A and B are shown apart, each in its own frame.
Chain A
Amino acid sequence: MQLKGWKDLAIGAVMLEPGSCLAYETGSWRTQRPILDLEKCAHCFICWIFCPESSIQVRGGKVTGIDLTYCKGCGICSAECPRQAIDMVMEATARKGAKDEG
């Protein structure tokens, strides 16, 4: 993000550009990562409704994954899932696992 000087900003912190939160990658806040098991998933979209960051990815009427660029790891999807298809694992563990596999 380009940082501006005080003379270049709109006063009162008014934001003129829509969708500016796209530039704010809240995934870096995450301490726990949701792991989605698509075998268990019934594609009921309850996680999609509840996700406060719109991070549940959907294509062709099916849940396809979770956008980790913005997912804060709040765990609401996991708590709400009626099929226990989403596990929360420690972010550090998940990263280590990903590295080991890689």
Chain B
Amino acid sequence: METRVKGKLLAFRGDEAVAEAMRQINPDVVAAYPITPQTETVQAFSQFVANGEVDTEFIAVESEHAAMSACIGAAAAGGRAQTATSGPGLALMWEMLWVASGMRLPIVMPVVNRTLSAPINILCDHSDSMGARDAGWLQLYAESMQEAYDNTIQAVRIAEHPRVMLPIMSCLDGFILGHSFEPIEILPDEAVREFVGTYKPGYSLLDVDHPVTYGPIDFHGHFFEHKRQQVDGMESAPEVVLQVGREFGELTGRYYGLTEGYELEDADFVIVALGSVTGTIKTVVDDLRQQGQRVGLLRIRCFRPFPAQEIAQALGNKKAVAVLDRSLSFGAQAHQVYLEVVTALYTHGYAPKVVNYVYGIGGRDTLPHEVEQVYRELAEVDKTGVIQPVVRYLTVRE
């Protein structure tokens, strides 16, 4: 049976494409505060509200802390709640991020990645969402504007799955994806509405026939058990991400997994990365493959939960691996994605040579010849057997 629907190819900024997805999802409540580089998402969505194109109750809040608080209230009341943010906005939400995940509320939040000050900078890196990686939220990272749109739709289904019931960040690189135009296939409204379905919460504050208490005090007795349940929700998520990605593929022809291999299988030298830089890396892989070099890419789409086994098996027997991080974990031995990848390899019994590259901090561009440099250095690591320095800073001037 042919189930595939045909969308319309339209030119959109990534931010606006995300707003389009939100319009089609038609959430019950959106509470948001505009912040660069997410502004266009909230601006476009509030226009939909003003035009009566959605049924959403839009709450123009006074801060991101309030935005997340309002989403928590709306979700606890049984509504489908969404917001969107960037960098310092996500930082201001910090306290409430943990409340949303602890209360198991499936809030969907596009995060248009922006660095954190100081010095003041509004451009892209992953300091914001990587800083929130332990907050109990699922995290998807998009490579393209199309994927940012697709992920926002899938995020609803993933978060609301009864075995998951966790909030989710749908991350897209600020400016690079957020503000650039690309032809995006926008699905028919009814196809999206059918795909996301109706949210049926297990409990609702507004269900007066079945009153329950939300957010009680919970000390020595059961707090630890409730946190263990949260881990279980995370552990159930990979299967759901795969299932939803498959169903979305059947609908649109665009299939999504936890990771994506590009020329990976027979590659000797592999770069592991997430976000928009993977588009550049694919171009470089194509060029180097033409020259007969066995290079490949492993793109991580789902960072939380971290698909450890899949990644370990994909990388275990490679000659040398470079893990790219677009954020710094000050004082750590290396940076966020690298530490996850190396832990996955070690715990699955593999020990390939792995180096860490920090790139693109504060919005610095990463160009094809710099990606080529990484592959060249991987060949050098393999030849000499020396991985030091383990952490390398791509393009930083001495």
Chain B, Cβ-Cβ closest to A9? B225
**Minimal Cβ-Cβ distance residue in A for B211:** A18
Q: Are A11 and B212 in contact, CB atoms less than 8 angstroms apart? A: no
B contact face: mostly helix, strand, loop, or mixed: loop
In B223-267, the 8 Å CB interface with A consists of 225-226, 228-229, 232-233
Near B by CB (< 8 A), chain A positions 7-24 give 9-16, 18, 20
Q: In the complex, what distance in Å separates the CA atom of A22 from the CA atom of B213?
A: 14
**A12→B213 contact, CB < 8 A:** no
Instruction: Say which residue of B165, B202, B216 sits within 8 Å of A13 (CB atoms).
Output: B216
Check if A1 is an interface residue, CB within 8 A of chain B: yes
- Roughly how many angstroms separate A15 CA and B103 CA in the complex, as a whole number? 11
* B214 interfacial by beta-carbon distance below 8 Å: yes
Q: Is the CB of A12 within 8 A of B103?
A: yes
The chain B residue sitting closest to A5, CB to CB, is: B225
- When the two chains form their complex, are residues A13 and B212 in contact, meaning their CB atoms are under 8 A apart? no
B211 & A12 in contact (Cβ 8 Å cutoff)? no
Interface size class of B (residues with CB under 8 A): 20 to 34
User: Contact string, B201-224, partner A, CB cutoff 8 A, digits 1/0?
Assistant: 011000000011111101001100
Q: Mark B60-84, 1 if CB is under 8 A from A, else 0.
A: 0000000000000000000000000
CB-based contact B228/A12 at 8 Å: no
Please report the C-alpha to C-alpha distance between residue A16 and residue B213 in the assembled complex, in whole angstroms: 7
Which of A1, A9, A11 makes the CB contact (< 8 A) with B202? A11
Tell me, yes or no, whether A98 is within 8 Å of chain B by CB. no
Q: Which A residues are in CB contact (< 8 Å) with B226?
A: 6, 9, 11-13
- Residues of the A chain whose Cβ atoms lie less than 8 Å from the Cβ of B213: 14-15, 18, 20
Q: Supply 5 further A-B pairs (C-beta < 8 A) apart from A14-B203, A15-B213.
A: A3-B221, A5-B225, A6-B229, A10-B202, A14-B103
